[in-house]
Chain A
Amino acid sequence: MSQSRSHTGRTIAAHAVLLTYTLIALFPVFVIVINSFKSRKAIFADPLALPMPENFDAVGYTTVLQQGHVVQYFANSLIVTVASLFFVLLFGAMAAFALSEYRFKGNMLMGLYLALGIMIPIRLGTVAILQMMVAAGLVNTRTALILVYTAQGLPLAVFILSEFMKTISDDLKNAGRIDGLSEYRIFFTLVLPLIRPAMATVAVFTMIPIWNDLWFPLILAPSEATKTITLGSQVFIGQFVTNWNAVLAALSLAIIPVLALYLIFSRQLISGITAGAVK
């Protein structure tokens, strides 16, 4: 009895901590979203008030959507994020498979070298990257962003995925080899489905910094045709006048796609189809 009560107490305490954290984390998002539906005057009069009929104003959204480029900005962000994610997951998983599956000279060193990028921020190399992109004629292209983000995401992906690859049963891979599957088929049809939860984790960790990034779009691809939504929202922030309605509306809209992607991946996080493969 006493044990079950203390158990309940602990559950309540744990939930209190988690709820507090959730509130703190969600508060800025909440403020952005509610204010995006209010008139400019109402935003400044009482930033924490909920949008009501008397202070409701969708002018932010109409401004943003009438600004013809916003759809283009969204498309740019999505293309860059999804393409980078694809390459990070593909190359990351392949490198991780090679590192964990094959014994070759310098295996350990190679793994360390590939993981080094976790500790060194890629932005330190901005000048060199810009010079390289200029030389390659890739400035103001989405390719430039995709390349940089792929490089930025790979170290963590290789690190996490190679740990997971080691947990996959050798018997399963060997069974595939005896049945005549090529190493590529073993990788794509046997190994990848089993590390789906790990891939989803990596996808979430990789996706959010890319979507939110302002730095590289500003430096490498600031042209009208290649602006991402984060960069695009900045047009409403002026040196002297800032169109807060539009900024808040653009930011609110920018949450939606990344939220959708997150929901897709988080479903994968939960499911595991390992059951039945090996004991």
Chain B
Amino acid sequence: MGALSLSQVTKAFGKTEVIKGVDLTVNDGEFCVFVGPSGCGKSTLLRMIAGLEDVSGGDVMLDGVRINDLAPAKRELAMVFQTYALYPHLTVRENMGLALKQAGEPKAKIDASIARAAGMLALDPYLDRRPAELSGGQRQRVAIGRAIVRTPKLFLFDEPLSNLDAALRVATRIEIARLHRELGATMIYVTHDQVEAMTLADKIVVLRAGRVEQVGAPMELYNNPANTFVAGFIGSPQMNFLKSAAVGQQGETTGIRPEHLTIARDAGQIAGQVSHVEKLGGETLVYVRAEPHGLLTVRLFGEHDFAVDEAVWLTPDATRAFHFDANGARLR
């Protein structure tokens, strides 16, 4: 159980409106990711669902019950924070058991829940340590364990991987995906990293300036973006935006992903000059300055040699191009 629905939810701090009427449904067992640039309101929205921020207007419903005015502890949800937020004076075991203890559960049940969560996250050897004695990755696992112990209807993650280094981030990401499969619980995950969004989500919600820009499955957003903002945000490296008039395409802007541009030394559609080359081993990214479009990215598989300032030609794969009007909306 754990179906969440938001209808016309708004949030204002004084006169500034930061969430401008969000409608959203998250089904039971779904992994939903809120993604957007900093300041888009994704964390605020999560905090409103958690009950840590007041809702200025609209309804927040969990399993058909309006929870707008319910205290955070009564909402049957658990939250994992970016800064871990472990209680420094308690051991790992006490950290994980605190919520159940507060709820007045019997000790045997608390111990069983802790044992189960610790087993899932390989935390058994650390149960009697304090947070200060753990590494960053272990602390975040404890924070996730603390959430699991409560068997909540809804898991909330607020940028849980941002404080971890790159290798740990990948490992923890995989762990979270595994937990979602094992627990089958509804999870809402906030991140500004589109890679995390693409790899974890069943459903991605792209937010900009307090509004939902598009909702959909990762591949749906990748293959069918509704506007230039979503097109530019989803996919890495970012989509190239060409001036349609200069390449004989319809609309104001033509979007083409870096993997759908071909590069050649002798002939092609767009003339340009190599400005930078990034060799990653498996793939090579070539940045080409081409007027009037600006800097374009070409993604090539394998190793390729291009010299800086070399003259090259680019050709977009017209069948994979997206067309947008002057306001950025998709033309279909």
Contacts and interface: CB of A to CB of B under 8 A. Distances in A.
Nearest to A190: B87
Interface stretch (B72-80, B251-259, B298-306): B72-80
B89 A189 contact: yes
Contacts, number: 84
Contacts of B163: 279
B99 interface: yes
A131 interface: no
A277 B82 contact: no
A250 B73 CA distance: 57
Given A177-B52, A179-B98, A279 B83 contact: yes
A193 B131 CA distance: 15
Interface in A8-35: none
B54 to A, nearest CB: 10
Residue picked from B77, B79, B88, B134, most chain A C-beta under 10 Å = B88
B99 A179 contact: yes
A181 to B, nearest CB: 6
B81 interface: yes
A176 B139 CA distance: 16
B245 interface: no
Chain B: interface size category: 20 to 34
Contacts of B81: 171, 174-175
A158 interface: no
B35 interface: no
Interface in A173-211: 174-181, 189-190, 193-194
Contacts of B327: none
Contact of B50 (A169, A178, A181, A276): A178
Given A178-B99, A180-B99, A277 B87 contact: yes
A175 B99 CA distance: 10
26 contacts: A169-B83, A171-B81, A171-B158, A174-B47, A174-B50, A174-B79, A174-B85, A175-B79, A176-B87, A177-B71, A177-B73, A178-B50, A178-B51, A178-B79, A178-B99, A181-B102, A189-B87, A190-B87, A194-B88, A275-B88, A276-B130, A276-B131, A276-B133, A276-B139, A279-B84, A279-B163
A-B pairs, top 9 by smallest CB distance, nearest first, are A276-B132, A180-B73, A276-B131, A171-B85, A277-B88, A180-B102, A278-B83, A171-B81, A179-B99
Interface of B: 47, 50-52, 71-73, 77-79, 81-89, 98-99, 102-103, 130-134, 136, 139, 146, 158, 163
